[in-house]
Structure 1
């Protein structure tokens, strides 16, 4: 099998949703690591006109895809022939898709906006911070209640739906600026579920791959922006002026 190419910004959580699936299924892949200020312009926008990561190209089927949810579904359908991370029965199959859609429409956007107002926005807006921190906790509450009587979101094994939640949950502390040991405070079932997944070799390999990519671009481990800039606004202004943002 030829390796799948995946384009990513190492700081972003969404690409690692796809990478952990690749790792779990043992699919060979090659990373093209791009800079934040290159994601909105050609040649990357020729691959993904929306200017977001990740995107993949599979030379085995000659298909290019973007949107992490679509990529996950493709990888499962095309390569999880042993159904390691999925089910084929009617109810379970659609319940998996249901939870993936919740991750895409609930967890990702709310956590992302919370990160913006807590960390990246140049002004501190208490009402916005409160709203989106509460939304983040609401999502955790949905998950915690569901996991009260079960180990996994669907069925009796870990699936792609579970794994899709890992990258954003793993960085809650840097999103809402709390202590790492407090990020799941009040949500013990989510904490136990998350720890089951990040203890797996596939996730550990993801983080081993990510670390040198972050260092290569001189990116702050928490905010994701180049360490030479004190604020995200300062970074965006440099990008707008066409300045070199390399470390």
Structure 2
């Protein structure tokens, strides 16, 4: 893919949804540049000229002229456009729809529950009911996936797909960035889920994206 122009990912190291896209870019071997966006200015111009919703990430693809925001459609776009060999997807029926199903679970379930738990537990620790609710929902998602993964290595079709990979960023962020929440200690209660996650982060492209993300976070913290 050396003839491709460089894709531009507008994100912020240490935030999971841009990392979710980074993982796909690395897995597909696409040339890309990460543009670090000041997270306090995402609701301001010039960034809102790209993404009027003022959230991260946004992808610019000069090869097609597309500007796209929201991580889930970005993931689908990258696979549809650049994974012609189907390494990370399945195009058969009904598997192709099952992939969309799990991507929707990640986007509407895992990500929001993790995000709300972090918000309340870290910034509003007195809100015990909210903290308990989002923690319970987070662990519910774990239990659902743990049951689905019983006897399986991956979610759909016996191979790693974009649906599996989309869960990595939030899980990594919670385990590494917020160790005080103790998710590592709870992982043994969900052995299928935890074994699946360990398989995913052992993939070279995933490990590279996680390493870059952590290194850049450390650089920012040292400033």
Aligned 8 A contact 2:98 2:156 in 1: yes
Query: Is residue 85 of structure 1 aligned with residue 82 of structure 2?
Result: no
Question: Is there any run of 5+ residues in structure 1 with no aligned partner, and where?
Answer: 220-246
> Within 1, Cα distance between the matches of 2:154 and 2:193?
10
Match for 2:7 among 4, 9, 27?
Answer: 4
Match for 2:167 among 165, 168, 176?
Answer: 165
Q: How does 1:58-207 map to 2 (within 5 A)?
A: 58-121=61-124, 123-173=125-175, 174-175=177-178, 177-179=180-182, 181-207=184-210
Aligned 8 A contact 2:14 2:173 in 1: no
Q: Secondary structure at the match of 1:64?
A: strand
> Within 1, Cα distance between the matches of 2:211 and 2:134?
30
Match of residue 19 from structure 2: 16
TM-score (norm 1): 0.84
> Within 2, Cα distance between the matches of 1:179 and 1:128?
18
Q: Secondary structure at the match of 2:181?
A: coil
Q: Secondary structure at the match of 2:189?
A: coil
CA RMSD in angstroms comes to 1.6
Match of residue 217 from structure 1: 220
| Cα deviation digits, residues 102-122 of structure 1 (max 9, x gap) | 11111111111011111133x
Q: How does 1:20-39 map to 2 (within 5 A)?
A: 20-39=23-42
> Within 2, Cα distance between the matches of 1:15 and 1:130?
27
| Cα deviation digits, residues 143-165 of structure 1 (max 9, x gap) | 00100121111011000000000
Moved segments of 4+, more than 6 Å: none
| Cα deviation digits, residues 87-115 of structure 1 (max 9, x gap) | 11020100000100111111111111011
Paired positions, count: 219
Deviation at 1:68, TM superposition (A): 0.2
> Within 2, Cα distance between the matches of 1:176 and 1:26?
31
Deviation at 1:212, TM superposition (A): 3.7
Aligned 8 A contact 1:115 1:176 in 2: no
TM-score (norm 2): 0.93
> Within 1, Cα distance between the matches of 2:172 and 2:211?
15
| Cα deviation digits, residues 9-60 of structure 1 (max 9, x gap) | 1121111111111111101100101121121111111111111111100000
Match of residue 227 from structure 1: none
Deviation at 1:181, TM superposition (A): 3.2
> Within 2, Cα distance between the matches of 1:49 and 1:217?
26
